[in-house]
């Protein structure tokens, strides 16, 4: 939003019209929340639904709370989520009640069948048939309710997936801008990065160190550490793991020693460059246990001999 638009928005909100709009919005929020909460309270008050659909009720209550606390721009989407969750809770409770009734009817039918065999009573046979028809009707009703609940859940899953996709895209855009800013401030390039299940992974290759079997950072490595530390300062993230890796040359003890020494050098350089120590986990030396590629060529061994700086995603609030 540019400055002129922002000042216009402030002026509108400060005006009598803006105040009225804000008040109307608050009334709508209270009314909608009250209606949805009343529906949940109706379920709670009906003794037939005791201990039924408790998980769905809990999810509905959470969605309702999210709607009540949502920002104005998010209210339509959060309202839809809350209404859908309440509907799912109501449907699940009714379905489970019907399922229980069907089980009871099946047991009654079995008992009546035994009585019919023993007494061959025509009245019992007629009652048995009536119960079968009623149970079939209830089963059909339960089937329709299950289909409705499944459709509602599918719609909800699609909405949640779209919301997560938007969040991921927004975070990716923020990280791109942060990388550009960090490189501009530090006057150097960040090491190559990728996203995997662990988070954002930056890889310091062999030329980040002074020699093939050295843990001393080269001038290039130090420059990469400085820009990486600047990037960490201006982004929001979780814990930072520094993991050293080697190729399969030499014995296992030497591999582990070198990989840990290199990881420790990177941790120390990050701290010196201003990375908060509280976010840095102890350095890890993994040796040749986690290869990127086969160690069958010199080029591949070069790729495997690396230090990875793994920045976990920010904790979910």
In a domain, 179, yes or no: no
In a domain, 182, yes or no: no
Q: Are residues 77 and 166 in the same domain?
A: yes
In a domain, 181, yes or no: no
* Domain residue limits at 215: 187-311
Q: Has residue 8 got a pLDDT over 50?
A: no
Integer CA distances (angstroms), 236 to 73, 178, 189, 191, 277, in order: 23, 10, 20, 19, 15
Q: What's the 3-state SS for 274-315?
A: CCCHHHECCCEECCCCCCCCCCCCHHHHHHHCEEEEEECCCC
Q: Has residue 19 got a pLDDT over 50?
A: no
Q: Are residues 193 and 116 in the same domain?
A: no
What tokens were used for 275? Answer: 């990375």
Domain boundary among 173, 197, 227: 173
Q: Are residues 118 and 11 in the same domain?
A: yes
Q: pLDDT tens for residues 155-191?
A: 887 887 777 667 666 667 777 888 899 888 888 899 9
CATH code assigned at 307: 3.30.1330.60
First to last CA, the chain: 26
Query: Average model confidence (pLDDT) for the chain?
Result: 86
Q: pLDDT tens for residues 279-305?
A: 999 999 999 999 999 989 999 999 999
> Do residues 126 and 97 make contact, with C-beta atoms less than 8 angstroms apart?
no
Q: Are residues 191 and 261 in the same domain?
A: yes
What is the rounded average pLDDT of the residues 31-58?
91
> Do residues 95 and 102 make contact, with C-beta atoms less than 8 angstroms apart?
no
> Do residues 258 and 214 make contact, with C-beta atoms less than 8 angstroms apart?
no
Q: Are residues 35 and 168 in the same domain?
A: yes
In a domain, 47, yes or no: yes
Q: pLDDT tens for residues 102-147?
A: 999 999 899 988 888 889 888 888 988 899 998 998 988 889 888 8
Q: Are residues 213 and 168 in the same domain?
A: no
Domain count, the chain: 2
Domain boundary among 173, 206, 222: 173
Q: Are residues 224 and 254 in the same domain?
A: yes
pLDDT at 39: 94
Q: Are residues 231 and 99 in the same domain?
A: no
């Amino acid at each position: 939003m540019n400055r002129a638009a922002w000042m216009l928005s402030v002026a509108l909100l400060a005006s009598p019209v803006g105040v009225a709009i804000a008040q109307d919005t608050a009334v709508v929020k209270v009314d909608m929340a009250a209606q949805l909460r009343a529906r949940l309270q109706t379920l709670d008050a009906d003794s037939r639904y005791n201990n039924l659909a408790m998980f769905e009720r809990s999810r509905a209550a959470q969605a309702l709370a999210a709607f009540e606390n949502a920002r104005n721009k998010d209210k339509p989407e959060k309202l839809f989520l809350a209404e859908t969750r309440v509907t799912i809770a109501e449907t699940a409770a009714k379905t489970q009640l019907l399922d229980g009734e069907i089980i009871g009817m099946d047991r009654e039918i079995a008992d009546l069948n035994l009585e019919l065999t023993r007494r061959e009573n025509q009245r019992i046979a007629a009652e048995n048939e009536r119960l079968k028809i009623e149970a079939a009707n209830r089963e059909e009703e339960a089937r329709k309710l299950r289909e409705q609940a499944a459709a509602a859940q599918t719609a909800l899953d699609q909405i949640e997936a779209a919301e997560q996709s938007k969040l991921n895209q927004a975070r990716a855009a923020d990280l791109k801008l942060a990388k550009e800013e960090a490189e501009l401030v530090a006057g150097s390039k960040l090491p190559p990065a990728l996203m995997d299940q662990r988070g954002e992974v930056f890889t310091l290759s062999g030329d980040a160190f002074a020699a093939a079997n050295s843990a001393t950072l080269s001038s290039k490595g130090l420059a990469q550490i400085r820009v990486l530390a600047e990037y960490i300062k201006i982004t929001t993230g979780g814990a930072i793991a520094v993991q050293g890796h080697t190729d399969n040359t030499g014995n296992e003890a030497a591999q582990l020693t070198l990989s840990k020494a290199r990881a420790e050098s990177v941790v120390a350089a990050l701290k010196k460059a201003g990375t908060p120590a509280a976010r840095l986990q102890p350095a890890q030396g993994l040796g040749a246990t986690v290869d990127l590629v086969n160690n069958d060529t010199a080029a591949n061994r070069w790729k495997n001999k690396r230090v990875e700086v793994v920045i976990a995603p920010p904790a979910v609030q």
